[in-house]
Chains A and B, each alone.
Chain A
Amino acid sequence: MIYTIFYGFTIGAILYFISIGLSLTFGTMRIVNFAHTLTYTIGVYALITLIALFKGYFILVAALSILIVIPISYVIERFVIRRLYGESLDYTFIATFAISLIGVDAIKWIWGVNPYPMSDPIGKYLMFWGLSLPIYRIIIIIIAILLFVALNIFFKKTIVGKIVVAALEDKDGVRCLGINVDKYFSIVFMLGSALAALGGVLYAPISSVHPYMGLSILLLSFAVVIVGGMGNLKGTFVSAFALGMVMAITARYWSQGAETMVFIVMAITLIFRPIDI
């Protein structure tokens, strides 16, 4: 049971990395971004390519692959997302879905369809009261908590963060102050994409890598964002860990039902608290 809780925390941490960007893009730009986990997939594939070049430097390679994602996400933001501000939701859906189609196909083109196996880069276990917990997973959880603290500081103390939080509340109000909101949205978008890539890079060694990996996790992170509230940073944190726990506990008793249980939770949430968008 302790293992289950532990695994739940790991999945929750990964879900948190990915859904924070989704939640921010929705909260600020009112765009439901289907292309969000494209950056996650790209990050993973960059990691695979680079790790063949620099064997043994996992941290360096991870940092590099996150850096690679940032210009790609800028291109997506500049040429597609920025044109969608103020459009009806249907078109934002379709356009971002189109980007993810293009991206996934490009990945298939470059790297092929076959899944890549990856192994745990640390591979050691922490012995603890008779339990053996993989250190890698512990590190993931610690990074998630650190990130939560860091993001809170970022949004409370720095001027960029404050502008973004203000824009979450009232976009037009911020614009009236003479601030170029679009520039900050672009920053938020890149930040979110980089965090998704971080999630991908951390998750890839303990899961399988294939071109469609983004789509399956995208649905999960949508569930996280909806349960936590769109644009609600603390809610996203809590719901990511809660849903991670739901997945782990379901998987313990009924391994195929893990993802479905998340959607059932999401459906129940929507029934009792529909979001009007």
Chain B
Amino acid sequence: MDKERADKFYAEEGTEPSSELKKVPMKDHGVIEFIVIVAGFLLITPILSTHRVTDFMIFCIFAMSFDLLYGYMGRLSFGQMLFFGTGAYGAGLFIKYVSGNPLLAILIGILVAGLLAMFLGLIIVRTTGACFALINLAFNHIGFFLVLSPLRKITNGEDGFGVSAFNLGFLNFSSRPIMFGFVLFCLLLTFFLLKRLTSSPYGVLIRSIKEDETRVRFLGYNTFLYKWLTFVLSGSLAGMAGTLTALNYNYVNPNAMDVHSNVGVIFACLIGGAGHLYGALVGGVVYMVISNFLPIYIHRWEMFLGFSLLIITFRFRKGVWGYFQGVWKYVLKRKENQALMAKEAIRK
């Protein structure tokens, strides 16, 4: 971390960094990543069903939006469902009352969630730690209550309402493969956008905010602005996941904003490994598999979730992806050592 911060610092100041700091830390494997993600999701499609995998991918988008906030900026939110639900309701209501154009509905959903995040972010982002989590939770609760009760006439309360978008050329959202393709496209878009952002100076900055916000402020950055931007971005992406859910199920109900569903995305982020986009992808899939299939075999799956969360907190902090990385690093180091030893042997 310190190295990256120093890198950033030197880059800003225009002073010459030492040769080691000049090294670009991230290698670009864009094409390989693209192939791996697409192939990964296509491979699990025949095992599960297309509709399920579409659902998984939407959840992965949601997990990535949460990962940006929690894994990269270090702000744990217990109210990310608010933006998810806002997106879903925004798109759903747009289709129901204004027009059935699905793309426009998605845009509107993202916009509404983003606007809400912009407005609430002004308040929420000022807090940290426990307050951040709790104030998010409070707003999520207020949102849930709003759709459930005072806006009952528009949102149809607990029962929710059906969403039927019309076809837009070949974009027929009621056909499963096309929905699958579209969601995959959105997932890749989100992934590469976030990858680009998190490896840019902005990404370094928000990771520095996670480490020590005061020091970043000492460096002369307006941390409030960056935190707010991240919050808005994360909210909009969560909104996008919400709109896609609404289109995928052709249905919106208050479950999309349920306060208690927040634990799912936190769990997904942690089990995959917070602070890696891959972690969010892996965690999203793992969580969805657990929550979809485990209740069939284990009746008390909430208890299982609780125990696994405890194990993660005490023993397995880096998550699945962090674990893989650790193993990979170990293998690389061992190879290096072997090569060195071989060299030594030759010299002798």
Using CB atoms and an 8 Å cutoff, list the residues of chain A in contact with chain B: 26, 32, 80, 83, 89-91, 93-95, 97-102, 104-106, 108-109, 215, 219, 222-223, 226, 256-257, 259-260, 263-264, 266-267, 270-271, 274-277
- On chain A, the residues within 8 Å of B149 by CB distance are 256-257
B142 within 8 A of A: yes
B-side interface mostly: helix
Contact B76 A90 (CB under 8 A): yes
Contact B135 A98 (CB under 8 A): no
Contact A94 B266 (CB under 8 A): yes
Number of interface residues of B (CB under 8 A): 40
Q: How far is the CB of A35 from chain B (nearest CB, A)?
A: 10
A selection of 8 A-B contacts at a CB cut-off of 8 Å is A32-B134, A89-B129, A91-B313, A98-B309, A99-B310, A215-B260, A263-B139, A263-B141
- On chain B, the residues within 8 Å of A89 by CB distance are 76, 129-130, 133
- On chain B, the residues within 8 Å of A259 by CB distance are 141, 145
- On chain B, the residues within 8 Å of A264 by CB distance are 142
Determine which of B141, B150, B266 lies in contact with A219 in the assembled complex, contact meaning CB atoms within 8 Å: B141
B18-26, B95-103, B245-253, B297-305 - the one binding chain A = B297-305
Determine which of B78, B123, B307 lies in contact with A271 in the assembled complex, contact meaning CB atoms within 8 Å: B123
Q: Which chain B residues (72-102) contact chain A, with CB distance < 8 Å?
A: 74, 76, 78
Contact B306 A98 (CB under 8 A): yes
Contact A275 B127 (CB under 8 A): yes
- On chain A, the residues within 8 Å of B127 by CB distance are 270, 274-275
Closest to B305 in A: A101
Contact A97 B300 (CB under 8 A): no
- On chain A, the residues within 8 Å of B282 by CB distance are none
Contact string against A for B residues 261-304, beta-carbon threshold 8 Å, 1 for contact and 0 otherwise:
00100100010000000000000000000000000000010110
Complex Cα gap A271–B138 (Å) = 13
B56 within 8 A of A: no
Closest to B127 in A: A274
Contact B129 A277 (CB under 8 A): yes
Contact string against A for B residues 221-234, beta-carbon threshold 8 Å, 1 for contact and 0 otherwise:
00000000000000
- On chain B, the residues within 8 Å of A263 by CB distance are 138-139, 141-142
Determine which of B78, B131, B142, B313 lies in contact with A275 in the assembled complex, contact meaning CB atoms within 8 Å: B131
